[in-house]
Structure 1
Amino acid sequence: MHMTNEEYGRYVDALAPRSKTGKNLMNAFWVGGLICAIGQALLNGYQALGLDETTAGAAVSISLVLLSAILTGFAVYDDIAKFAGAGTLVPITGFANAVVPPAIEFQTEGFVLGTAAKMFTIAGPVIVYGLSASVIYGVIYWVCSML
């Protein structure tokens, strides 16, 4: 069967699934917003317990990473991520979701060579570049503040 480029284009358009961009954007928006709202509720709760804002913020980060690691371990976070897309990747919870699966997958190889070595396979480059960038920005800020 011989088709022109235009005929082939129409054929592909007819068979290709329609994009659900609007729905995907809304799901990412409200799930990401829900994660942030949970973080805000945790912050308010920790401050009500008497923690200062900085310490409460650190406790919120720890809590969100722990919660997402637990949900990833039980394969719940992956289902949420399939539904919400980038809404789950952008907050700090996405970091734990990137670290936990390789750690679980390679645990049979032992704690050191399996879990510990493979845990940062995906998140490692992000950590390295993030820390490197923060050091460079810190040095630039320090030099500029000295002027």
Structure 2
Amino acid sequence: MDKEQQRNQAYQEYVKKVTPKHNVILNCLKAFVTGGMICTVGQAILNAGQALGMDTETAAGWCAMLLVLISIIMTAMGWYQPLAKFGGAGTLVPITGFANSVAAPAIEFQKEGQVFGIGCKIFNIAGPVILYGIFTSWVLGVIYWLI
């Protein structure tokens, strides 16, 4: 073996040693439980709203607003990131994950000021989602109109 092959082999062994091993079944279980807990909280809010006499649409609106508020408060308190680290994809339940993706950069860059900090950085993560969501809906609307 020449030195180049020895270095490549040593590097490959190093990569194997430092690469974390993932337990897919455990990660899926954690995501399922975490996402299920978030959805259970949402369902409890929805049921409470209906028990207070709200119609389904009004209760759903309050549920969405409260889930966003809870997500932003948890992000600001530094609690959402450990939850996301534990639950993985389970924390990407659309409304809470999106609220976190908007709030986290705003909180992180607030020291840079209102315009260059919060204003410029708030949509770092969520911006592409909004852009491609709007563009895709426009394209599908055109296709629907043509058909």
Scaled to the shorter chain, the TM-score interval is: 0.7 to 0.9
Contact 1:102 1:121 in 2 (8 A): yes
Q: What secondary structure does 1:85 align onto? A: helix
Deviation at 1:43, TM superposition (A): 0.8
Question: Is 2:23 the counterpart of 1:24?
Answer: no
Which runs of 5 or more residues in structure 1 are unaligned? Answer: none
Counterpart code for 1:91:
P
Q: Once structures 1 and 2 are overlaid, which stretch shifts more, 34-43 or 134-143?
A: 134-143
- Superposition CA RMSD, Å: 2.7
Contact 2:38 2:93 in 1 (8 A): no
Which runs of 5 or more residues in structure 2 are unaligned? Answer: none
Tell me the distance in 1 between the aligned counterparts of 2:120 and 2:16: 46
Q: What secondary structure does 1:51 align onto? A: coil
Equivalence map 1:49-128=2 (5 Å) = 49-128=52-131
Equivalent pairs counted in the alignment come to: 143
Residues 11 and 101 of structure 1: CA distance in aligned 2, closer, same or farther (over 3 Å)? closer
Q: Residues 19-76 of structure 1: CA distance to partner in whole angstroms, max 9, x if unpaired?
A: 2111111000111011111111111111222222122212211111111111011110
Deviation at 1:83, TM superposition (A): 0.3
Deviation at 1:110, TM superposition (A): 1.8
Q: What secondary structure does 2:83 align onto? A: helix
Deviation at 1:127, TM superposition (A): 0.9
Contact 1:35 1:91 in 2 (8 A): no
Deviation at 1:131, TM superposition (A): 2.0
Tell me the distance in 2 between the aligned counterparts of 1:63 and 1:15: 41
Tell me the distance in 1 between the aligned counterparts of 2:101 and 2:29: 23
Contact 1:73 1:101 in 2 (8 A): yes
Residues 36 and 14 of structure 1: CA distance in aligned 2, closer, same or farther (over 3 Å)? same
Q: TM-score, normalised by structure 1?
A: 0.80
Q: Which has the higher helix share?
A: 2
Counterpart code for 2:139:
I
Deviation at 1:133, TM superposition (A): 2.1
Identity score, percent: 52
